[in-house]
Amino acid sequence: MPGSFLNLVLRNAWQHRLRSGLTVLGMIVAILAFGLLGTVVDAWYAGADGAAANRLIVRSSISLVFPLPQTYKERIRAVDGVRDLSWANWFGGIYKEPKNFFAQFAVDGESYFRLYPEFVVGEGAMRDFLRDRKGCVVGRKLAETHGLRVGDTLTLKGTIYPGSWDFVIRAIYDGARKGTDQSQMFFHWAYLNETVKARMPGRANNVGVFIAEVDSADRVATVSRAIDREFANSRAETLTETEKAFALGFIAMTEAIVVAIRIVSYLVIFIIMAVMANTMAMTARERTAEYATLRALGFPPGFVAALICGESLLLAGVGGLAGIVLTFPVAAAFAARMGTLFPVFNVSGATVLLQAGSALVVGVVAALLPMRRVARLSIVDGLRAVA
């Protein structure tokens, strides 16, 4: 019986090839779009997801655009619970054209890479970077996007720090995890500071943020309060938060876009659900006499309802599966086209699960009304549908 049931479901689905084909195509597009939009949202949150639980970001309490004196470093390091410390400045340079956007940070090389073990640099390359005042480290994805190699000169046009800035690529870092951002560039804070001191003395000896590593993730709240207390009522008060909260703060600024993307992705599913429901309603209406015949022959209403549900699930399943499979190459092509705009653009397991779940829901929901109608169908009325 199960084999014959599946045979009937398959044959029914194949009966109207054009209609079934178009429905499956619609399903593929919907599930693919749903997956891609979900991946875009994931990419938005990639920075927050990759944050370490025991790293704190210390910044100006007024705004991130206001720097903190570099002299704070000793006082922060002295706070109980702070195990290690580093600092960074957002550089904001343009590489050839504004569209080639990527993040650039002036960092204290030695401590920064100690605090961020997810940026993996070979020992020799790190030595070369630390030795070269104008040296820089770039991510693997950034290097591949722009064809950069070790030894190349990378020239940036400063926006926050005006002028032309030349760097020599001394190392290319890889990500320790799949989700590690490999599209950043790091260079020596000392080089930035010396140059700024020469060109704009008033802006020297400042840092954008301090990064403090806490000895235990359980103590981050206590330590962050202690740091902020340390600088209360000073000329540059601090706001200390976890790295994740810091990243989420950035995302919050663009939350409306994320919400819009999410709404569009669910709308896509809702539309395909309506299309599928229409297909199944048409199919069931056309087969009314067949269903009535099956009932007359002694098949229970549940069998006939299962035929409809099976056909709906088959169409949704085939479309959903193809949509999921296609998500991977399309996402890869999309990420390549976007360059370093989305530093991390991976189709997550959760996205695939959501795609599969959506296909299942579409299949079941689309069949509900026709199933209900057939279950209530009077055999006599159904048989009259042909006569």
Partner 1 sequence: MSSPEVLVRLREVRKSYRRGAQVVPVLTGIGFDIAAGEFLALMGPSGSGKSTLLNLIAGIDRPDSGELVVAGEDIAALDEAALADWRARNIGFIFQFYNLMPVLNSRENVELPLLLTGLSGRERRQRAEFALAMVGLADRMDHTPNELSGGQQQRVAIARALVTDPTLIVADEPTGDLDRESAGDVLKLLQRLNREAGKTIVMVTHDQRAAEAAHAIMHLEKGELFVREELKQG
Q: Which stretch binds partner 1 (CB under 8 A): 6-14, 24-32, 116-124, 198-206?
A: 6-14
Smallest distance from partner 1 to CB 295, Å: 7
Q: Which stretch binds partner 1 (CB under 8 A): 160-168, 222-230, 297-305, 361-369?
A: 297-305
Closest CB to partner 1 among residues 298, 329:
298
Closest CB to partner 1 among residues 9, 185:
9
Round to whole Å and give the CA distance between 41 and 39.
5
Q: Is 383 in the site for partner 1 (CB under 8 A)?
A: yes
Smallest distance from partner 1 to CB 290, Å: 6
C-alpha dihedral (270, 273, 274, 277), degrees to nearest 10: -160
Q: Is 289 in the site for partner 1 (CB under 8 A)?
A: yes
Q: Is 15 in the site for partner 1 (CB under 8 A)?
A: yes
Give residues 67-86 in contact with partner 1 (rule: CB under 8 A): none
Closest CB to partner 1 among residues 197, 285:
285
Q: Is 8 in the site for partner 1 (CB under 8 A)?
A: yes
Cβ atoms < 10 Å from Cβ of 296 = 12
Per-residue tokens: 256: 């409306």
At residue 281, what is the residue type? Answer: A
Among 201, 298, 329, 349, binds partner 1 (CB under 8 A): 298
Among 299, 321, 326, 334, binds partner 1 (CB under 8 A): 299
Q: Which stretch binds partner 1 (CB under 8 A): 5-13, 122-130, 218-226, 355-363?
A: 5-13
| Cβ–Cβ < 8 Å for 135, 167 | yes
Chain centroid to CA 342: how far?
8
Q: Is 295 in the site for partner 1 (CB under 8 A)?
A: yes
Smallest distance from partner 1 to CB 380, Å: 5
Q: Is 264 in the site for partner 1 (CB under 8 A)?
A: no
In 3D space, the residue among 337, 113, 97, 122 whose CA is nearest the CA of residue 105 turns out to be 113
Smallest distance from partner 1 to CB 42, Å: 43
Q: Is 379 in the site for partner 1 (CB under 8 A)?
A: yes
In 3D space, the residue among 264, 364, 322 whose CA is nearest the CA of residue 38 turns out to be 264
How many of the chain's residues bind partner 1 (CB under 8 A)?
26
Among 62, 252, 296, 332, binds partner 1 (CB under 8 A): 296
Give residues 26-55 in contact with partner 1 (rule: CB under 8 A): none
Which residues form the interface with partner 1 (CB under 8 A)?
1, 3-4, 7-8, 11-12, 14-15, 289-290, 293-301, 378-380, 383, 386-387
